[in-house]
């Protein structure tokens, strides 16, 4: 009995620490989920005379992928995005974040271009509107232009199969 | 490569003169002023000391050298120039990045444990301390020997004295 109470307290503490260890401090829940996607009106990467706006895709479910040529983990997810775009399940748009046009275009030539179009955000202002802090980030936006999901960090096979694609199907349905 | 009509010394002098000509280009650029308005800069730093840099997480927005922190500081500066209040700016950031940007979390149902948990532990600790001290005092106050035991002990002592004498 004398040791029971401290033992219980210890086990409870270990339980808390274990849960804490397995939480990812990078997974900051976005307050933007369930809110309308912030509006933007940006230059298109391939054609600077064209503008892309957040409203272009109203009525469609689409993905907005924040990427940059300087972003190392973007390379990690890129083949998946290319595959996804080939499968034609959902249109993927890019937000080319704090990048230089030439480098960005070269990067797409090198690794493939999965994007229907990429909007240029050279100063990261649209990024701030979307609460971007760790590139890559991917947003699932529904037909009404509402953000439904945010993937922080590279899109993984697991996230794609278990979260993004089921959600896209549900939203398209 | 040699230039006709220049002797070795002349070449040297020419190079030397060129070096001086290039001197101004070698000077480092003077540090650009951080902001035109020192008042805004003071306010921005005061505000961003309480904000978390989401990239570096354990650094404040004021202290971080990350590019991302730079962008957010620019944003804060611009909003201050546009006469936004500190509260409006904080609300702007919370709307995009969530409460996580705040080093002082707001009081909400989900943060009650965070705010009052330490006090709950303090009270539990105080209760344990009081109970423990009371129990100990009782132990000290209780005489170690009962009246009868004391008499017995005295008798034994007397007896041993008699034997030694």
pLDDT of residue B26: 58
Instruction: Tell whether B61 is covered by a domain.
Output: yes
Domain span at residue A55 reads 31-172
Whole-angstrom Cα Rg for chain B: 40
The band of B1, judged by pLDDT with boundaries at 50, 70 and 90, is very low
Instruction: Tell whether B8 is covered by a domain.
Output: no
Are both B75 and B97 inside the same structural domain? yes
Q: Between B57, B71, B98, which is nearest A128 by CB?
A: B71
List the CATH number of the domain containing A111.
Answer: 3.40.30.10
> pTM here?
0.72
Instruction: Tell whether A60 is covered by a domain.
Output: yes
Residue, of B23 and A73, whose pLDDT is higher: A73
Give chain A positions within 8 Å (CB) of B100.
28-29
Are both B93 and B48 inside the same structural domain? yes
Low-confidence ranges of chain A (pLDDT < 70): 26
Instruction: Tell whether B66 is covered by a domain.
Output: yes
pLDDT of residue B6: 58
Number of structural domains chain B divides into: 2
Are both B100 and B119 inside the same structural domain? no
Q: Is the pLDDT of residue B4 over 80?
A: no
Is the minimum CB–CB distance between A128 and chain B shorter than 8 Å? yes
Please compute the mean of the pLDDT values over residues B29-49 and round it to a whole number. 76
Q: How far apart (Å, rounded) are the C-alpha atoms in residues B66 and B55? A: 7
Number of structural domains chain A divides into: 1
CB contact under 8 A, A31 and B68: no
Instruction: Tell whether A114 is covered by a domain.
Output: yes
Instruction: Tell whether B22 is covered by a domain.
Output: no
Nearest CA in chain A to B66: A133
Q: Is the pLDDT of residue B65 over 80?
A: yes
Are both B99 and B44 inside the same structural domain? yes
Are both B74 and B95 inside the same structural domain? yes
Are both B114 and B130 inside the same structural domain? yes
Per-residue pLDDT tens digits for A137-146: 999 999 999 9
Domain span at residue B55 reads 38-106
Query: What is each CA distance from B141 to A104, B125, B128, B130, B147, in whole angstroms?
Result: 83, 24, 20, 16, 15
- Going A74 to A145 to A85 to A98, the CA torsion angle's sign is negative
């Amino acid at each position: 009995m004398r040791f029971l109470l401290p033992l219980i307290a210890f086990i409870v503490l270990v339980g808390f620490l274990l849960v804490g260890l397995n939480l990812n401090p990078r997974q900051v829940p976005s307050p933007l989920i369930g809110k309308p996607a912030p509006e933007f009106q940006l230059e298109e990467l391939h054609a600077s005379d064209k503008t892309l706006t957040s409203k272009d895709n109203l009525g469609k479910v689409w993905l907005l992928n924040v990427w940059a040529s300087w972003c190392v983990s973007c390379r990690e997810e890129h083949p998946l995005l290319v595959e996804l775009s080939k499968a034609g399940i959902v249109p993927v748009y890019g937000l080319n974040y704090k990048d230089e046009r030439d480098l960005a275009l070269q990067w797409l030539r090198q690794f493939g271009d999965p994007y229907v179009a990429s909007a240029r955000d050279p100063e990261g202002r649209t990024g701030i509107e979307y609460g971007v802090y760790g590139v890559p980030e991917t947003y699932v936006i529904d037909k009404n232009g509402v953000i439904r999901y945010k993937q922080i960090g590279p899109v993984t096979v697991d996230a794609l199969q278990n979260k993004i694609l089921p959600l896209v199907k549900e939203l398209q349905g | 490569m040699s230039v006709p009509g220049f002797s070795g010394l002349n070449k040297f002098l020419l190079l030397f003169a060129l070096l001086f000509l290039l001197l101004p280009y070698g000077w480092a650029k003077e540090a650009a002023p951080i902001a035109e308005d020192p008042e805004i800069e003071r306010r921005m730093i005061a505000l961003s000391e309480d904000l978390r840099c989401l990239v570096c997480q354990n650094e404040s927005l004021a202290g971080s050298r990350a590019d991302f922190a730079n962008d957010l500081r620019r944003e804060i500066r611009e909003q201050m120039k546009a006469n936004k209040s500190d509260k409006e700016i904080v609300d702007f950031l919370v709307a995009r990045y969530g409460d996580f940007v705040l080093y002082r979390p707001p009081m909400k149902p989900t943060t009650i444990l965070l705010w009052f948990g330490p006090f709950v532990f303090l009270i539990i600790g105080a209760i344990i301390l009081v109970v423990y001290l009371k129990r100990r005092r009782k132990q000290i106050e209780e005489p170690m020997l009962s009246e009868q035991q004391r008499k017995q002990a005295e008798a034994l002592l007397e007896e041993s004295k008699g034997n030694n004498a």
